[in-house]
Amino acid sequence: MGNQKNRLQRSFSNLNIWIPYMILAIILIIMGIYQPGVINFNWLNRQADAWVTLALAGIGQTLVFMIGGTDLSVGGVISFTNCLAAVYMPQSVPGILAFSLGILLIGVLAGAFNGFIIVKFRLQPFIATLTTWAIWSGAALCILSVDGGKVPSLFTKALLHKFGSVKVSLLLLAALIVIGIFFKASRLGIALVSVGSNEKGAYFGGISVTRTKILVYMISGLLAAASGLFRTAQVASGSPTAGDSFILLSCASAVIGGCSVATGYYSFAGAIVGAVIMRLLTGLMVATGVSSYMTSLLQGVILILAVCLSSFTALFHNRKKMEVDV
Amino acid sequence: MEKWKAVLKNNSDILGNYLISVLLVAVISIFYRGFGSLSHISVLLSDFAILGFLVIGQTFPVLTGGIDMSVPYMMNCAAVVLNYGVNTKNWSLPAAFLVVAAITLLAGTVSGFCIAWLKVHPMIMTYGMNSILMGALLSWTKGTAGGFTPEGLTIFAKAKIGFLPVVTLFFAAGILTLMLVLKRSAYGKRLYAVGNCKRAAYFSGINVKAVTMAAYMISAVCAAVGGLIMSGRVGQSYLGMGDSYMFITLAAVAIGGISMNGGKGHVAGSASGALLITIVLSMLTVLKASLGVQQLLYGVVLLGALILEANKIRFGGRRKKYDH
Amino acid sequence: MADLEVKGLSKAFGGVQALQNVDFQAAKGEVHALLGENGAGKSTLIKCLGACQSYDSGEICLNGKRLTAVHPRQAMEAGIGIIFQELSLIPNLSVADNLFLGMKLGNKTSVTRKRIACRRAEKIFEEFKVEGIDPEQKVESLSLSEKQTLEIVKVLSRDPEVVVFDEATSALTANRVEWLFGLVEQLCRQKKIIIFISHRMGEIRRFCSVVTVFRNGQNVGTRLLTEVENDELVQMMLGRKIAGYYPEKTDTCREDAALETKDLFFEHYLDNVSIRLKYGEVVGIGGLAGQGQNALLLALSGAVKAQRGEILLDGKQAVLKNPKQAMAKGISLVPEERATEGLVLELSIADNLLLPVVSDIARFGLINRKKEKELLDHAVESLQIKVGNIDNPVNSLSGGNQQKVVLAKLMMTHPKVLLLYDFTRGVDVGTKNTMFTLLRKLAADGNCILFYSTDMEELVNVCDRVLVMDQGAVKADLSGERLTEENILKASIGDGVA
């Protein structure tokens, strides 16, 4: 009896893990029906650019979700790094390299600041990162008040380069999936689940909760800065509001990607698939002839449904515990 | 007398906000003649009324420990639906008002329901609701923004008694009503209990979920009122008219002494935050500060307010320990 | 010089002194038992030892060297291993991941970590002779006994010098206790310092050689177990009797049943509880902490729904979805945590008192000032709450007066059945007297009272009847002559009652 129940429960949580992949398959099938022949390797190559920016932010958001936080500042960091790169990036090769590294460092520092104020002053993550979002996007506006700027062509070429027929973005996505597998097995990857699932237990078990939290925000900042760099190369200009749409979308990617504090499950691949789904929805709507006006409506509905789904999983999980449902 | 003294003492930072606001106006008007003129003050007061309605609405979800990020499109929705309905669909004005009321209440109820019963995170729920409203609005009006505001509303929004705009008086009445709701009504007592400690409220026989849901409904209605007044003042509605307000309302609420953790503060306080921000905004415009500097300043000010509040609680706690 | 020495340790939580200048010594190769009632300070001492908590003054020395750890990890590295009562396992991680939580494991970012961890976990399980736990399994799918076993193995596999078992046997099955016994003997031979906390006298006699008794945050004495009788230990634990403040018990019990439960069941918490409470009766619930008492009260107050079984009120089945409904039907609960469940600390005394009845005194949603004042005056008067100003926040009151406010708040709804969870904890003697007098008076008026307390003396002196719970089931129903502290203690620790 107990065994059967266990198996049932396990298959239920497994189902949850496969949901993003199933949604992706359904979207691809629908697109294939409406526009036969459109999905091929070239299409993948073209789309990968749009996917990678969101996937990077989505992975960062996933990690932050897993420690029970939220990082809204990704929007500000993306805008800021985008504007910074579009305005000040030098032409020479060493200059570009150093500048890119500097931008990634800014992302890390932005994340460290988020983590610091959240841990030190015990601020609620979303309100704390809301303020840093405002600060970074304000800084972006200071650099560039309207869309513009000029990006060195070398930089654009480097990030849009094709190795054979495979684009850098596609390679990076593949690399992220592999890195994800390593990360999940690493000490930080495990510490993060333990902090999210039982903070007191993790502390008693010898995990440094403060350090873990700050590190996770740092990673999120780093990934947001990387996303900002890619966006700069793709659009070849800067926009002070470039990152704003990423806030909702990155949360959506993380949630649809199946990460859940209640079950302790997360994966980079899931977050990437979540990002791909969010990006494809627009394409899907075009393909099926839904008005573009409906895009944001459907995005909102899908986000809320996905969150409801994960909160149902949590409810299912908690039913066996004697919790007071306030 | 004793009681009034205590009230004054407890709300000293709110009084401070009002005082700083007045001082700011006085100081800037020394450098810029026009700033302190009656006509400009009248403009400031009606700006204050618009932001104020959004902010006192936002106060309620924040008092429950939540947040309402659907304010921008809630106000946009109200304005556009009214104008589009009257201009394109030939609704009568009262009918249009009824539709607006129904839509905002429905949106607030849905947000509140999902947050209270389905345990969706308030931020994600209301952000999602914001984008749902935006999409619904766009597809209903086919991207047109609704056009000009009906005459009745513009007259109301622009009317003045002396230099006092009628909308500001209307807003003052709004504050008084909501203050009464918070301090003297059964709902207010329950709201504070829920905001401070959900479990204790639950064990005291309070329907925590219903109280939470109602807070989001009040916020939706207040946002709609703010949107309508704004549309009346501008004379037309346009898409994105509320976009800049999402963050400002939160900043005003935080400056007005409402704890982001819920349960502390009241609408008179958040209104003081709104006043201060209105004046600072206008000041930045006069000083020709760029949008970027404005946003940067918001961020820094809000962060400062949050950190101050967090530390105040901690110092307070330490002091308490010594008392016992 | 003892191998482990605690000197003058003090720790206060708010106004409550959890540890008062405690001295404690333990030597290598001995199994040292800590005994004491709930809240006597044993767990606080252990947490200070493991650096899970800071202390106000005093010092802890191991092998003559002062411990300066401020994070549990540092204490671990200094050789202190604590097996916690509340499990510090992470339910969402696999058994192997939990086993090596926070540890370096060879090549640290390797994907093969999972395989290495599993292989090492299997080796460790073999070494400790544990069978039937799959290293890849998630911890939440383990039974309580298996979790406890894993917790023990996790700590011991790190080879600590000091091993603390904080009620580590409470959830173990009988053959696992045997297994643990072998393990402890082996640790003894390895000259480890072993500290053993348990409420079960039988286990203490079997496992330990020395015992130290705690009471009210103080060390009341250390004895060799071979030289001390159980009676003496119980006496030491309970302390000198303070008599005279209990009201006289009169039999006010009526015939008709107020509240009945039939086979109330909740996995891991309640095991087919069937009880029958009559009007005019004060019934106590006893037993060790965490044996389902809270679950029972929560289920009766509507805060949680039992998985099976039914609740009957006045002989009719009652559906209690939440405390609000239960209150409307006349059942009120004084919950476990005064600060987070009983009261909204930041609100004023008046607001707290009025919370359950705000709708009754409101017209068109607004509160009627006259009715409000009448109710408040009545409440303050009837419970003799010493309030300076009723508009002051409730956290300006002392613990005892706060608890009076909780009670007064619930009395506003005129409950027929009053459920009380350990409501005299942290309350001074005078207040206790007032409260017990009130309880007896309420019973005399025909109300039914169910009263859980960790203080056995109170149960014996206040209640007409005491139900003792163990592992979610009611193990004994004591009344009349049989209602003694010894019998309650015996029933709680699994001994039969004469």
CB contact under 8 A, C344 and B200: yes
Host domain of residue C439: 242-330+415-498
- Region of B288 (left: φ > 0; alpha: ψ -120 to 50; beta: rest) is left
Q: What contacts 24+ positions apart, CB below 8 Å, involve A182-185?
A: A182/C109, A182/C110, A182/C111, A183/A268, A183/C109, A184/A266, A184/A267, A184/A268, A185/C109, A185/C110, A185/C111, A185/C113, A185/C114
User: CA A48 from chain center: how many Å?
Assistant: 15
Burial environment of residue C72 by CB neighbours within 10 A (0 to 12, 13 to 18, 19 or more)? buried
Give the residue from chain A lying closest to C298, CA to CA.
Answer: A324
Query: CA B91 to CA B81: how far, in whole Å?
Result: 11
- The closest alpha carbon to A273, from A17, A12, A4, belongs to A17
CB contact under 8 A, C295 and A322: yes
Query: Considering only CB atoms, which chain A residues are within 8 Å of B139?
Result: 291, 293-294, 297
- Report which of residues C12 and C83 the model is more confident about: C83
Last residue of a domain, one of C413, C434, C452: C413
- The closest alpha carbon to C23, from C47, C39, C2, belongs to C2
Minimum distance, in Å, between the CA of residue A197 and any CA atom of chain B: 17
CB contact under 8 A, A240 and B292: yes
CB contact under 8 A, C362 and B190: no
CB contact under 8 A, B310 and A142: no
Domain covering A48-305 assigned CATH 2.30.30 in the classification: no
CB contact under 8 A, B196 and C367: no
Minimum distance, in Å, between the CA of residue C229 and any CA atom of chain A: 36
Q: For residue A86, what is the enclosing H or E element?
A: helix A73-88
Residue from A12, A194, A319 to probe the interface with C (highest C Cβ count within 10 Å) = A194
Query: Considering only CB atoms, which chain B residues are within 8 Å of C395?
Result: 320
Q: Are residues C164 and C26 in the same domain?
A: yes
Residue A153: phi and psi, rounded to 5, are -65, -30
Last residue of a domain, one of C219, C238, C257: C238
Q: Is the pLDDT of residue B161 over 50?
A: yes
Give the residue from chain A lying closest to B129, CA to CA.
Answer: A300
Chain B, residues 181-210, CB within 8 A of chain C, namely: 181, 184-187, 189-190, 192-193, 196-197, 199-207
- A280-289, B23-32, C342-351: least confidently modelled range: A280-289
Q: Are residues C82 and C220 in the same domain?
A: yes
Minimum distance, in Å, between the CA of residue C101 and any CA atom of chain B: 30
Torsion of CA A284, A288, A294, A298, to 10 degrees: -50
Task: Write the DSSP symbol of residue C495.
Answer: P
Please check whether residue C486 lies inside any domain of the structure: yes
Chain A, residues 251-290, CB within 8 A of chain C, namely: 262-265
CB contact under 8 A, A322 and C93: no
- A209-213, B145-149, B233-237: least confidently modelled range: B145-149
Q: Are residues C294 and C259 in the same domain?
A: yes
The pLDDT tens digits of the residues spanning C22-74 come to 999 999 989 999 988 766 788 889 989 988 888 889 999 998 888 888 888 89
Q: Are residues C65 and C162 in the same domain?
A: yes
Query: CA A254 to CA A56: how far, in whole Å?
Result: 11
Residue by residue, pLDDT tens for chain A (326 residues) are 344 444 445 545 566 678 789 888 988 888 888 888 878 888 888 889 989 999 999 999 999 999 988 899 999 999 999 999 999 999 899 999 999 999 999 999 999 999 999 998 888 787 789 889 989 999 999 998 888 888 898 999 888 888 888 899 999 999 999 999 889 888 888 899 999 988 888 888 888 999 999 999 999 999 999 999 999 999 999 999 899 889 888 988 898 888 888 788 899 999 999 999 888 887 777 777 777 788 788 878 877 887 787 677 767 766 666 677 77
Please check whether residue C337 lies inside any domain of the structure: no
Query: CA C449 to CA C411: how far, in whole Å?
Result: 13
Number of domains observed in the structure of chain C: 3
What's the mean per-residue pLDDT of chain C?
85
- The pLDDT score that the predictor gives to residue C385 is 72
- The pLDDT score that the predictor gives to residue B317 is 41
Burial environment of residue C96 by CB neighbours within 10 A (0 to 12, 13 to 18, 19 or more)? buried
Query: Considering only CB atoms, which chain A residues are within 8 Å of B130?
Result: 300
Please check whether residue C419 lies inside any domain of the structure: yes
Query: CA B195 to CA B214: how far, in whole Å?
Result: 13
Residue from A198, A259, A261 to probe the interface with C (highest C Cβ count within 10 Å) = A198
Query: Considering only CB atoms, which chain A residues are within 8 Å of C109?
Result: 182-183, 185-187
Please check whether residue C436 lies inside any domain of the structure: yes
Q: Are residues C33 and C75 in the same domain?
A: yes
CB pairs under 8 A between A and B: 148
The pLDDT tens digits of the residues spanning B99-145 come to 999 999 999 999 999 999 988 888 889 988 998 999 999 989 888 87
The pLDDT tens digits of the residues spanning C276-290 come to 999 999 999 988 777
Query: Considering only CB atoms, which chain A residues are within 8 Å of B263?
Result: none
Residue C249: phi and psi, rounded to 5, are -85, 125
Q: Are residues C384 and C373 in the same domain?
A: yes
Highest mean pLDDT among B190-204, B302-316, C141-155, C201-215: B190-204
Minimum distance, in Å, between the CA of residue B206 and any CA atom of chain C: 6
The pLDDT tens digits of the residues spanning B61-82 come to 999 989 999 999 999 999 999 9
Of B187, B197, B204, which has the smallest distance from its Cβ to C365's Cβ? B187
Last residue of a domain, one of C238, C258, C292: C238
CB contact under 8 A, A139 and B292: yes
3-class secondary-structure state, position B212: helix
Tokens 């007044």 appear where?
B229
Residue from A182, A187, A193, A318 to probe the interface with C (highest C Cβ count within 10 Å) = A187
A186 and C CB contact within 8 Å:
yes
CA distances from C364 to B175, B185, C275 (A): 19, 9, 43
Residue from A132, A244, A281, A293 to probe the interface with B (highest B Cβ count within 10 Å) = A293
Minimum distance, in Å, between the CA of residue B156 and any CA atom of chain A: 32
User: CA B297 from chain center: how many Å?
Assistant: 19
Please check whether residue C218 lies inside any domain of the structure: yes
Residue from B178, B196, B204 to probe the interface with C (highest C Cβ count within 10 Å) = B204
Return the amino acid letter for A249. L
Query: Considering only CB atoms, which chain B residues are within 8 Å of C349?
Result: none
Contact A154, A93 (CB under 8 A): yes
Give the residue from chain A lying closest to C115, CA to CA.
Answer: A185
- A142-151, B28-37, B315-324: least confidently modelled range: B315-324
Q: Are residues C227 and C257 in the same domain?
A: no
Query: Considering only CB atoms, which chain C residues are within 8 Å of B196?
Result: 344-347
Where in chain B are the domains?
37-244+256-269
In the structure, what pLDDT confidence band is assigned to residue C497 with cuts at 50, 70 and 90?
Answer: low
- The pLDDT score that the predictor gives to residue C204 is 85
Give the residue from chain A lying closest to C84, CA to CA.
Answer: A204
Of B124, B292, B311, which has the smallest distance from its Cβ to A303's Cβ? B124
Give the neighbor-by-neighbor strand order of the sheet with C57-62.
Answer: C16-26, C4-13, C57-62, C65-66
Report, as an integer, the average pLDDT of C453-475.
Answer: 88
Query: Considering only CB atoms, which chain C residues are within 8 Å of B6?
Result: 391
Q: Are residues C50 and C62 in the same domain?
A: yes
In the structure, what pLDDT confidence band is assigned to residue C356 with cuts at 50, 70 and 90?
Answer: very high
Report, as an integer, the average pLDDT of B266-276.
Answer: 93
- Report which of residues C383 and C355 the model is more confident about: C355
CB contact under 8 A, C90 and A194: yes
Where in chain A are the domains?
48-305
Q: How many CA atoms lie within 13 A of A293 on its CB side?
A: 14
Please check whether residue C128 lies inside any domain of the structure: yes
Residue B212: phi and psi, rounded to 5, are -60, -45
Query: Which residues of chain C have a Cβ shorter than 8 Å from any chain B Cβ?
Result: 14-15, 301, 303, 322-324, 326-328, 333, 335, 337, 340-347, 351-352, 354-356, 358-359, 362, 365-367, 391, 395, 398, 409, 413
CB contact under 8 A, C367 and B197: no
Percent of chain C exceeding pLDDT 90 equals 29
A323 and C CB contact within 8 Å:
yes
Query: CA C11 to CA C13: how far, in whole Å?
Result: 7
Q: Which two tokens stand for residue C182?
A: 């072998």
Residue C395's CB: how many other CB atoms inside 10 A?
14
3-class secondary-structure state, position A288: helix
CB contact under 8 A, B138 and A143: no
Query: CA C366 to CA A234: how far, in whole Å?
Result: 60
What subunits make at least 3 CB pairs under 8 angstroms with A? Answer: B, C
Query: CA A147 to CA A134: how far, in whole Å?
Result: 18
Please check whether residue C336 lies inside any domain of the structure: no
Minimum distance, in Å, between the CA of residue A260 and any CA atom of chain B: 13
CB contact under 8 A, B299 and A131: yes
Query: CA C205 to CA C35: how far, in whole Å?
Result: 12
Q: For residue C59, what is the enclosing H or E element?
A: strand C57-62
Give the neighbor-by-neighbor strand order of the sheet with C331-334.
Answer: C331-334, C417-421, C448-452, C282-286, C465-470, C473-479
Query: Considering only CB atoms, which chain C residues are within 8 Å of A262?
Result: 92
- The pLDDT score that the predictor gives to residue B315 is 47
- A315-319, B174-178, C65-69, C95-99: least confidently modelled range: A315-319
Of B3, B185, B204, which has the smallest distance from its Cβ to C409's Cβ? B204
